[in-house]
Structure 1
Amino acid sequence: MDEFGGAIRVLHVDDDRDLAALTATFLERENDRISVETAADADEALERIGEDVDCVVADYELPGRSGIELLEAVRADYPDLPFVLYTGKGSEEIASDAISAGVTDYLQKDSGTGQYAVLANRIVNAVEAARSEQLLTRRTRRLERLIDTLPGMVYRCRNEPDWPMETVEGEVEELTGYDAEALERGDVVWGEEVIHPADREEMWERVQSSIDDRGTFEVNYRIRTRDGETRWVWERGRGAYEDGELVAIEGFITDVTERERRENRLAETTARLEALFEQSPDMINVHDVEGTIYEPNARLCEKTGYDREELIGMKVWEVDCSIDSESAAEIWQRMEPGDSRRFEGNYERADGSTFPVEVHIRRIATDDEPLFAVISRDISARKERERRLERFASIVSHDLRNPLNVAEGRLELAAEECDSEHLEHVADAHERMNALIDSLLTLAREGEFVTDPEPVEIAEEAANAWAGVVTGDAELRLPAEGTVVADRSRLAQLFENLFRNAVEHGAPGVTITVGDLDGGFFVADDGPGVPESERESVFETGYTTGDGTGFGLAIVEQVAEAHDWSVRLVGSEDGGARFEFTGVDEP
């Protein structure tokens, strides 16, 4: 059935179709909420009765079954459906039978059109009464479920500042520490001994204001239990009236201490997150599984040129023009709460211009619909730097390597024609130039980024790197037991350059140790070490104290920065060099 004031759907059962049509016309004219459908007999009526009918109006004399028999059949399946017997054959016997069968109202047909106003009024009253009863039943059931499922107490008290209790039921002692009888006898007064002193005055004012405005109230406040513990409670109540006069307060009280604590923590966390969200230098938005943007931050609006109101409701592929909507939807559907993805995209501004972005997307753990947090960063400068480095690498690999290859070939031919001590020095210079070119290409092409990070065992990767380096009689010790998340190939570069550095600058038989740190790992040796005044300079491109290229430790620092690690050089326990890497992710 519709709620109060809604449409009223009437089924009029009468075998006189002309009269039924006339009755429908006048009823709908009398009240525009009423709409009438007709049936010619009881069987047709029973087929059409259900949720789409709010009231049945039936004649007594019908083909087959009488109006009373129809009423009995209706009551068997729909005991609360309003039913008005509207008949031209009236008698006390028929009226008695109708009442016995559960008729809602009884009205005799009369001459003139005034009867339809009466009938319309009876129909509206019957339907509104049924709806009111249903609403009351639903409210009663909700209250019963509330009392059954929430630990708490129901009460009736006088509306006075100290709230003296008349009756209390439920988990009174569990909530307050006092038994029900103590509260009902007045040995313990709710407003004086249970409500927290700091909340008493505010509670009284809020309850009185709510009762004056709406007749009901909902409040949260603190109580003190018999043991002196402070708890938060939620109370819902209403005024009880007799002859229009407020005589008492009735309601329900339950413990919400944990919920209050959670909400306070959540409010604090939310405030911090909102500040981070809005003040973040990164572009952030939250979207649903269909790609609809729910919440953009200020940085996203600034970078794209859209207002916040414009972005809300847009699809993510309207901002990131590199996204294929179907492929993206498939990826989102497969993501579990906590799963994340990283990729590069291309954002389109409101003016149609575009810029490259690095995008991190994570599915948020929610109780209902899936939501996704997207954090993106403008990488235009990085892309330009990569293009410049690629051009530089092309020059190094082509314009330098080719002449060097020619020089090496000419040197080989010269060595066949003459024997000179100078040729060996030229060959050494060529070898050094090749090493420099290799280092420059590594710095240029590997760049400041990592790909495919995965769990890597530190000791295993260090041993593999050791096997690829000419180490002579140097020794490697591997007490490390940790596992880190890293790009395997770039971690190998880091170890190889550190090992070469230690072997080149250490004494014969140098010992190199790879071990665990809190939040990272270290590589140490027992060589001569690096003076403290020079330790900040060792990572500079071209820095060397011997015959090296000066790029090895620069590559080490670059690999660390690409992983967002911190690296520092300190003295080892044996007086050598110790490189410490921290901020390392663990699987």
Structure 2
Amino acid sequence: MSDDTADDRDGLEPIRVLHVDDDPDFVELAATFLERADDRFVVETATSVDEGLDRLAETDVDCVVSDYEIPDRDGIEFLERVRADHDTLPFILFTGKGSESVASEAISAGVTDYLRKRTGAEQYDLLANRIENAVDATRSRRLLTERTRRLETLISNLPGVVYRCRNESGWPMEAVAGEVERLTGYTDEQLERGDVSWGEDVLHPEDREAIWDAVQEGLVADDAFEVTYRIVTADGTTKWMWERGRVVTSSNGTDVLEGFITDITDRVERERELERRTDELESKYRHLFEEAPIMAVVTRVEDGRPVVDDCNRQFVETLGYDRDDVVDAELASFYTPESRRKLLDGGYDRALTGEFMRENRGLVTADGTVIETVLHAVPRHDAHDEIVGTLALYVDVAERKALERQKERLEEFASIVSHDLRNPLNIAQSRTRLARDDCDTEHLEHVSRAHDRMASLIDDLLILARSGEGVGELESVDLAALAERCWANVPTADATLVVETERAIRADRSRLRQLLQNLFANSVEHGSTGSEGRSPSGSRPAADDAVEHGGADVTVTVGALDDGFYVADDGHGIPESMRETVFEAGYSTAEDGTGFGLRIVERVADAHGWSVDVTESEGGGARFEVRGVEFVERP
């Protein structure tokens, strides 16, 4: 007898055999021959029924071989004891006492096989063959039962219907299972009997011909198909279905279709709602574009040159043209000769690549008047994320528009952003998240990024539009405590904050929070060694942007001045030639920057009656000094 832990040398599952016979020498000899006959055999032996039952209780066994004549009980009694706990375990009666009565009794008791002992080694080869056949048959039945159980469990838990049908007009169903009645209102029996035809009674009349053609084309191409269509349920409800199927050969040799159908009505409705909300949002943005208090032009590339694709009302009114005279014209035709040279001699190419920062441009009106502007241009992408042109924003530095008109437009602008634009954007973002659960497509990622960009612009534009208003109630604000809280609200990577003041100042707490957070974000994004060569963008970076631009090694310090406070970093600072322009609206060196962060800082300071200037810090970085602040003595 071999050891219990013997491994199958062919990599097949071992067959564990319990041989019970009252002759110890015979069971040992039989075990030796059986294990030689098949490497898979692992044989246990017992010389009594009780010992055999004990072995069964202790060890997993694949087959029992037993003699008929055993002193304490005969083999039939042993079989009945085994069947009480192991109703499917193969049991072979291997006995020297052979008779029709014994065989009949054994078969009646449920023996798997009956084999008479013979002389010679050939009897062990025959016994080995019988054992192998019995075990293989039992395992096959067990495997089939398990597979059937798993299939039934899978079908019962699938959110849809599995089917087999003939590829004929009406698609008569031969078998259907799953959530048939929940999806269609009909029972599986109605479909299988032909009382209800899938193609004629369930499939939507307007989709029948198109779906038939689509299925046949798919079958011709690769014996499979995938289609989306509508059905009409038993109560007249219209639902959207997604189906995938293929050709298989049935047991009678004919080709049939097998596949899976599931309800996608909720997904289709969400996608349609998302499209509607996106269209609504686009309309709102169109209004925002038109009413923006700065000149805005959308360009497209034609032969490497910028052509006006669209422009807002401010642009045509300022230059004195009709919109039809501007759209589809070359942008260079509205520039002064010097500005035209800058545009065509690399300026537009830099804007397309996102390298364009901020430059002066001269625009020419319809009557020949030159308007000096500051231009900020960024790349414009299509639905496939390909760069197709630019968005150019022109700020009239001559401030030709009356202050009252600017104020009215800013108020209207803030109203649009706050009320008419934020709500549909929130809905569009939520619908996008729902759509992702049902539809894994790269287009939704582009939509999500565009929504995030819109949200960032809305926040900054709203703050900027209102930052010129007077401050609210002034109170005593602990500068150190507020600085710590503001630092926690800004993506700072591994940057460090040092607070070197214990003073309290009189300020509008919420407006002061805006000022500090924007200064912190600016220092983290542009103040580290990783941002060498950059100057402030005024944007609030995402956490990963802060890491990308550096930020990990910068130290930001908040300290006191005689008449105010400062925020300084130890980065590369701001060139002296650029310090007068960093607070201008739209100024940004970052591709994703809104260009309004430092402008907001200046507006908050102005609203308090403070001044803000930028200079060089002791560590060579940027230092923003806020002066004219009123300190509050602590009790």
Normalised TM-score (structure 1):
0.45
Greater relative contact order structure (CA < 8 Å, 6+ sep)? 2
